[in-house]
Amino acid sequence: MTNVPNSTVLFFQGTTGVASGAGAVFGDGLRCAGGNIRRLATKAAVGGSASYPRAGDLSSSSCGQVAAPGPRWYQAWYRNSVSFCTPSTFNLSNALVVDWSS
């Protein structure tokens, strides 16, 4: 992900989409990943970007324990002390849906 402040970023996975994928207000953004949430990794954003997995990290499917085919929702949660829509000091990335196949 890019264009984020230099801060800590939590990457997480959900088993369903919140409000059928439309999301729900959470901080200065929308939380779209719902259901059973699994934290994948915490990374430092440097130079306005952060990513997971990096070299040496477990894959998203391994860390997320994806054992059965189907969709998973991925998102990142980061600190952002500049408030936009709300006085909250955190925001979320857009969600990415991956449909894992067998």
Residue 13 lies in a domain: yes
The candidate with the shortest Cα–Cα distance to 75, out of 3, 6, 2, 10, is: 10
Question: What integer pLDDT is reported at residue 102 of this predicted model?
Answer: 63
Is 42 in contact with 78 (CB distance < 8 Å)? no
Residue 43 lies in a domain: yes
Q: What is the pTM of this model?
A: 0.89
Residue 29 lies in a domain: yes
Residue 2 lies in a domain: no
**Residues 23-69 pLDDT 10s:** 999 988 999 999 999 999 999 999 999 999 999 999 999 989 998 99
Residue 85 lies in a domain: yes
Domain containing residue 88: 8-100
The C-alpha atoms of residue 75 and residue 77 are separated, in whole angstroms, by 7
Residue 80 lies in a domain: yes
Say yes or no to pLDDT of 82 above 90. no
Residue 76 lies in a domain: yes
The count of structural domains within the chain is 1
Average pLDDT over residues 68-85: 87
Residue 33 lies in a domain: yes
